[in-house]
Amino acid sequence: MNQEHAHQLQVGIEAVKSREISNFYFVACGGSMATLTPAQYILDREIEIPSAVYSSNEFILRAPKALGPTSVVISCSHSGTTPETVQATEFARSKGALTISLTHLADSPLWNAAEYKLHYDWGTDARAEDNNYGILYRLIFGILDALQPHEKYARAIASVETGLHDAFERNKAMTLEAAKAFGSQFKREPLIYTMASGINYSHAYSFAICLLQEMQWIHSSAIHAGEYFHGPFEITDYDVPFIIIKGIGETRSMDDRAHDFCRKYSDKIVLIDAETFDMEGISADVRNYFANLIAGVVLRQYAQYLSEFRGHPLSVRRYMWKMEY
């Protein structure tokens, strides 16, 4: 565990603990917003203080009435330069909110905009406990333990620090051949839908908008498994591809129902099922909160091989970072 990260977390958590808190807001854009969304799900399940997730610009334009000195605003931008997220963090501070920001780039505009700063590591050499999700989970379970101490939260933090990295590596190895098969079989698909519910929906969302649309230029849409039967299931057909993520938590019954129907009529289903994950080293009573993190690294590996078989690197863009928008 990076000791500088540990110190930054301790300072931020103590700041939350020292104030009266009436609400939490999670604010970011795109993949960073998807990164924060599981934290909102965890707070929603574990604490009575309300929380919400906002896209950065809408957070400013909507200007929630409850935003104020008893608010905690947690924002994230990988580069630390996303203008909307920087402005949203500055807006939150202007309202007196306690602001905590996560970024890979220290001394970036977001880093300087936030009152409390959290750096995370990135890249193939980054340890899971010090990457974006590792820092986020250590923050959220640290806040929970500070506000309402419980051994469960201490076990969750220990799971991040001692079990998560190895779990990532084992599950990537277990799904390597499946990822290669996905890349080979789906390389020419012009459209791929993603579907999930609960804490896993953020991965269906980010895979659709970031990995498929942004990085592969493949048409996609994230479908909530609970909403599938309220319109989207009408597009199901034998040649329509779906990636379905099934969790192990409270909303799995929705995933099961959607999967049961979908597989009757589509011959192109890719199933990512958390029940098959190796979660040794992660405390049993928080595995429902951690399975989505493993799903994320598994899906990233699927995207990597899809890009290789398509001859379209994940780094290629047409518009992003290349022009004014």
- The pLDDT tens digits of the residues spanning 134-175 come to 999 999 999 999 999 999 999 999 999 999 999 999 999 999
What are 243's two structure tokens?
Answer: 């990636």
Choosing among 3.40.50.10490, 3.40.50.300, 3.40.50.970, 2.60.40.420, the CATH entry for 3-162 is 3.40.50.10490
Q: Per residue in 280-290, pLDDT tens? A: 999 999 999 99
Burial degree of 133 (CB within 10 A; 0-12, 13-18, 19+) = buried
The span from the CA of 201 to the CA of 34, in Å, is: 9
Given a cut of 90, whether residue 124 has pLDDT beyond it is no
The SS3 call for residue 228 is: helix
The span from the CA of 288 to the CA of 36, in Å, is: 16
Q: Per residue in 13-27, pLDDT tens? A: 999 999 999 999 999
- Confidence (pLDDT) at 321: 87
The span from the CA of 77 to the CA of 108, in Å, is: 10
- What is the average pLDDT across 119-133? 95
The span from the CA of 223 to the CA of 205, in Å, is: 8
Average model confidence (pLDDT) for the chain? Answer: 97
The span from the CA of 36 to the CA of 314, in Å, is: 22
CB 248 within 8 A of CB 288: yes
What are 58's two structure tokens?
Answer: 């809408």
Strands 116-119 and 269-273: unpaired
- Alpha-helix residue ranges (DSSP H) falling in the chain: 3-17, 30-46, 56-62, 83-94, 109-113, 132-147, 151-162, 164-174, 176-186, 201-206, 215-216, 252-265, 287-310
Q: How many CB atoms lie within 10 A of CB 107?
A: 10
- What is the average pLDDT across 187-194? 98
The span from the CA of 106 to the CA of 117, in Å, is: 8
| Model confidence band, residue 1 (pLDDT cutoffs 50, 70, 90) | confident
Do 3-162 and 170-310 come out as alike in CATH topology? yes
**Which residues face 150 on adjacent strands?**
none
Q: Does domain 170-310 have CATH number 3.30.565.10?
A: no
Given a cut of 80, whether residue 221 has pLDDT beyond it is yes
- Confidence (pLDDT) at 219: 98
The span from the CA of 291 to the CA of 295, in Å, is: 6
- Confidence (pLDDT) at 13: 98
**Which pTM does this prediction carry?**
0.96
- Confidence (pLDDT) at 113: 98
- Confidence (pLDDT) at 99: 98
- Confidence (pLDDT) at 275: 98
| Model confidence band, residue 96 (pLDDT cutoffs 50, 70, 90) | very high
> For the chain, what are the domain ranges?
3-162, 170-310
- What is the average pLDDT across 46-53? 98
